[in-house]
A and B are shown apart, each in its own frame.
Chain A
């Protein structure tokens, strides 16, 4: 049954892979600097690695916004977000998975009467604005640095082409890692409080926690999205707002990846906090809007010539329309799930507490058993040593 409930998350993951991979490899593939197959393989591998290794940070913030504590609820919330993304994509309206899932969680909060953590909400809303602005600033600065460097470097056009390809692949890998780390929360975040997965070892090489297993499954869904549907999006992306050269595209992807990484990296958060600096909130941000910010940054560095403000306005409208649409759809779907299909979309706090107590109890018993085993082995060893000594004494 769990696999059925996970389907909505997998669908959302597929949508994310098919749409957002284009934000990383779009221009590179569209301008034929990199083959689609290469981009898809690199993108898939690094999205999964990013999701599994660094996915926890951003999903924690989403969990604070609304802890969807019943699996049917998680299913409905993810489904509402996925349908919103798919529907708005079909209508050719700008859409962000991050904003869809936030809207859908708030829909769940409203339906179940759970309080929305306003601090987390403000944190998330502020990052929606900060993310494209920060990407624009990064892209602007990187553009100036690259320009100066290229003029000094005097590298042959043909060799520059090879370096650009290498850069697009390396930065694309970093971008895919950051996308996985930051956006896995959108895909699987709502399943974190309710998933049933336990620890899983892989050939004695490494062990994944239950949440990491969940993120691995989400990462695989994103990869399927990249392989099956992103080519079409990649071939059309990049030229809408501002026409980019391959190097400018590289700068945009680098700026975008840096921003996604900043909003997902727990290590960076620890580093900043340990040095008494304000930490960057770990929040799932929209890679599409980061790209828009990056492209605007480049355009501003070129004195703002050639920006298509109409398309820019249309994209910005997605900030409002996406969460509202997902929230409304989530609310209505939860109503149907609960009242038509009689599925539990929400566990009351007492029930949740009981489950947690039960889980804690089981853990305590398990710990006790371990301790018992350890004591028993110690006792046996002591016993054997004592026996050996007594045997020696007897011989003497």
Chain B
């Protein structure tokens, strides 16, 4: 039993570390977008390196956790749900890293009047990610509050939809080239999709939380 407690403690730490990486990824995305929109490409580059490292470490940790859950036959009833949640969280982290990388690779053009809205959009979407992580943590330790965090994610996702729609509305009513309009639309969509993915994690989480109740 002592061994089991030790293993459990180590695994708890790994789970926390993994969720910390998702939070870190969201933070790097926030500042990375700001740096790009302000033209600080060097700072963006370092943040991109960090977020890629985050993604890589996250993948490794997730695999470790999954393998430990199976080999040590822990939480047999909730194992499927936990693995599903971790994989869904991993998609969020991957999408965050990939979108930030696209900024650096594709160097999109942004109209000055929508720059602030892009910053807002990324803020709201990353708030959704933060709340999603809080919800996942609550699933493990504080099941009563899962519902509250899920609600916050839903509100953030809904807000991100509105901001993205507003950006597209503004962009497609200007006289710039269609390719630039499409490019801006593409980035608004991709940032918005991160919040959508966070909401998907929460949908999965709400079912898992019901199953976890006695």
Q: Range of interface residues on chain B?
A: 20 to 34
Q: Is the pair A162, B76 in contact by a Cβ cutoff of 8 Å?
A: no
Q: Is the pair B141, A155 in contact by a Cβ cutoff of 8 Å?
A: yes
Q: Is the pair B76, A31 in contact by a Cβ cutoff of 8 Å?
A: yes
CB of A250 to closest CB in B, whole Å: 10
Q: Range of interface residues on chain A?
A: 20 to 34
The chain A residue with its CB closest to the CB of B212 is A157
The chain A residue with its CB closest to the CB of B137 is A156
Q: Is the pair B4, A165 in contact by a Cβ cutoff of 8 Å?
A: yes
Q: Which of A90-146 contact B (CB under 8 A)?
A: 143, 146
Other-chain contact of A157, B5, B9, B141, B214 (Cβ < 8 Å): B141
CB of B145 to closest CB in A, whole Å: 10
Other-chain contact of A151, B4, B78, B143 (Cβ < 8 Å): B143
Interchain CA distance A154-B138 in the complex, whole Å:
9
Q: Is the pair B141, A247 in contact by a Cβ cutoff of 8 Å?
A: no
Q: Is the pair A247, B78 in contact by a Cβ cutoff of 8 Å?
A: no
Q: Is the pair A157, B76 in contact by a Cβ cutoff of 8 Å?
A: no
Q: Inside 8 A of B12's CB, which chain A residues have their CB? A: 156, 158-159
B1 adjacent to chain A (CB < 8 Å): yes
Give the total number of A-B pairs whose CB atoms are below 8 A apart. 54
Q: Is the pair B78, A157 in contact by a Cβ cutoff of 8 Å?
A: yes
The chain A residue with its CB closest to the CB of B16 is A156
Q: Is the pair B4, A157 in contact by a Cβ cutoff of 8 Å?
A: no
A216 adjacent to chain B (CB < 8 Å): no
Other-chain contact of B139, A150, A157, A246 (Cβ < 8 Å): A157
Q: Inside 8 A of B143's CB, which chain A residues have their CB? A: 151
Other-chain contact of B214, A158, A166, A245 (Cβ < 8 Å): A245
The chain A residue with its CB closest to the CB of B145 is A154
Q: Is the pair B75, A161 in contact by a Cβ cutoff of 8 Å?
A: yes
Q: Inside 8 A of A166's CB, which chain B residues have their CB? A: 1
Question: Which of B11, B82, B214: most chain A CB closer than 10 A?
Answer: B214
Chain B at the A interface: SS class = helix
Q: 1/0 per position for B141-160, CB-CB distance to A under 8 A?
A: 11110000000000000000
A33 adjacent to chain B (CB < 8 Å): yes
The chain B residue with its CB closest to the CB of A150 is B214
A259 adjacent to chain B (CB < 8 Å): no
Q: Inside 8 A of B214's CB, which chain A residues have their CB? A: 143, 146-147, 150, 245, 247-248
A32 adjacent to chain B (CB < 8 Å): yes
The chain A residue with its CB closest to the CB of B144 is A151
Q: Which 9 A-B pairs have the closest CB atoms?
A: A32-B76, A158-B8, A157-B140, A161-B75, A156-B141, A147-B214, A154-B142, A162-B4, A162-B8
Interchain CA distance A245-B143 in the complex, whole Å:
16
Interchain CA distance A151-B145 in the complex, whole Å:
10
Interchain CA distance A155-B12 in the complex, whole Å:
11
A-B contact pairs, 25 of them (CB 8 A): A32-B73, A33-B76, A146-B214, A150-B214, A151-B143, A156-B8, A156-B140, A156-B141, A157-B139, A157-B212, A158-B15, A158-B75, A158-B140, A159-B5, A159-B8, A159-B12, A161-B8, A161-B74, A162-B4, A162-B5, A162-B8, A166-B1, A245-B211, A245-B214, A246-B77
Q: Which of A151-201 contact B (CB under 8 A)?
A: 151, 154-159, 161-162, 165-166
Q: Is the pair B1, A162 in contact by a Cβ cutoff of 8 Å?
A: yes
The chain B residue with its CB closest to the CB of A159 is B8
